[in-house]
Amino acid sequence: MAPAIAQTLLGSLPAPREATFGRWRDAAGEIIDSGIAIFFPAPGSFTGEDVLELQGHAGLIVEALIERVVELGARRARPGEFSERAFLNDKIDLAQAEAIADLIDAGSRGAARAAMRSLQGEFSARVQATRAALTHLRVYVEAAIDFPEEEIDFLASTELAERVAYVRELLGEVLQAARRGALLTRGLTVVIAGRPNAGKSTLMNQLVGFDAAIVTPVPGTTRDPLRATLEINGVPVELIDTAGLREQGGANEHDAIEAEGIRRARDAIARADHVLYVVDAAEDPDAYSFAEECDTLPEGVVVTLVMNKSDIAVVDTAPGGGNAADASAMDSPRIAISAATGAGLDALRARLASVAGHAEAAGGTFSARARHVEALERAAQQMDAACRQLAAKQGELAAFELRGAQASLGEVLGDVTSDELLGHIFRSFCIGK
């Protein structure tokens, strides 16, 4: 259809892949616009189909041109349809298609670079290499099942152990990289928590570079969580300042507004990727306030103790420093800062960048999504199950788990993805692209 539309709209079909100046006319022969036309014949186009690209002027002219093209038999593209057609025509795999949307939506330079690496196939190549090694392992195991009369016990051989170790290493590496890539794609959610007047809001303002939060000496000034977005060494960060976490039985325990603020603070902590727990080092040098809060924190939450007011207090930042009553408080990393003067903030920013995997991102992290991580985690679990079956000399059950792991890897690339999931993925794209 694209060649026929080009003939009518331009008067002739442009030479393949050559920029051609033309005037585009309506049904009455009046000029709608003029500009550059490029024709990409199938299969040498992004979608693998005949594609006519028109580069004209902006504004109302664009809509008039679209209406003319629709008159000639075209239709407006559905959200994500160009990428979907490229995927269905085997021009790109599903991970690359999703990288297009991630590139468009990138919230930082680091996320954009990671998305571009995925679009160029780096993520897909890692998954394909892992799947190839897994396929070789499956062949070896199933051959041992098919020839049980052989004198050699293949399931107990050194070669099998080496193959298993190699696959597990590849799978572990790509899973860790995907986790970093997913975090880089969606950004890092960091919650600032701590007791009232520990300096949380002042720290928030220092990190974002403007007065995002109101700062007063009055305890409980911050009630609702305050949000601001910033970029730290290429990593997008959503920073959330929260209400002070008071001790049980505090003077304002009947203050319904403050109680709601504390509840929202705890909800934010539960959803955080990382928590900066701010301690007033002048009043609480041993971080007892954090030790008392440990039991209320969600299991597995990653915390950095921010020992504030280092300009007026001597701070011990060694792990386990001071005499904190709780072991988890002693194990958490500590960074001494002064939210008032800005001292120590570079170290804190470096800590946040490290948590987001920035060091690895600079070396080649690709973009990834939650569904990629879930599929890779499932493959890792199936691989672990296969290892247990191999140890028990249950070759058939091991082969079953290996087939499952292979299918899970295929989900990342779209080899075994349902139509319903495909529809959801491509509908999330911007219009057309």
Backbone angle region of 334, left / alpha / beta, with phi > 0 → left and psi within -120 to 50 → alpha = beta
Stretch 280-309: mean pLDDT, rounded? 85
> Which top CATH class is 2-76?
alpha beta
pLDDT reading at 328 higher than 70: no
Q: What CATH number does the domain located at 96-184+366-427 have?
A: 1.20.120.430
Distance between CA 92 and CA 57 in Å, rounded?
30
Amino acid, single-letter form, for residue 292: E
Give the residue with greater pLDDT, 165 vs 253: 165
Question: pLDDT-based confidence at 283, cuts 50/70/90?
Answer: confident
Tokens 């491509």 map to which residue?
426
Question: pLDDT-based confidence at 354, cuts 50/70/90?
Answer: confident
* pLDDT for residue 113: 84
Cβ-Cβ contacts under 8 Å for 52 (sequence gap 6 or more): 2, 3, 5, 6, 37, 38, 39, 40
Stretch 191-201: mean pLDDT, rounded? 88
pLDDT reading at 19 higher than 70: yes
Topology (CATH) of 188-355: Rossmann fold (3.40.50)
Residue 404, classified by CB atoms within 10 Å of its CB into exposed (0-12), middle (13-18) or buried (19+), is middle
Structural domain spans, the chain: 2-76, 96-184+366-427, 188-355
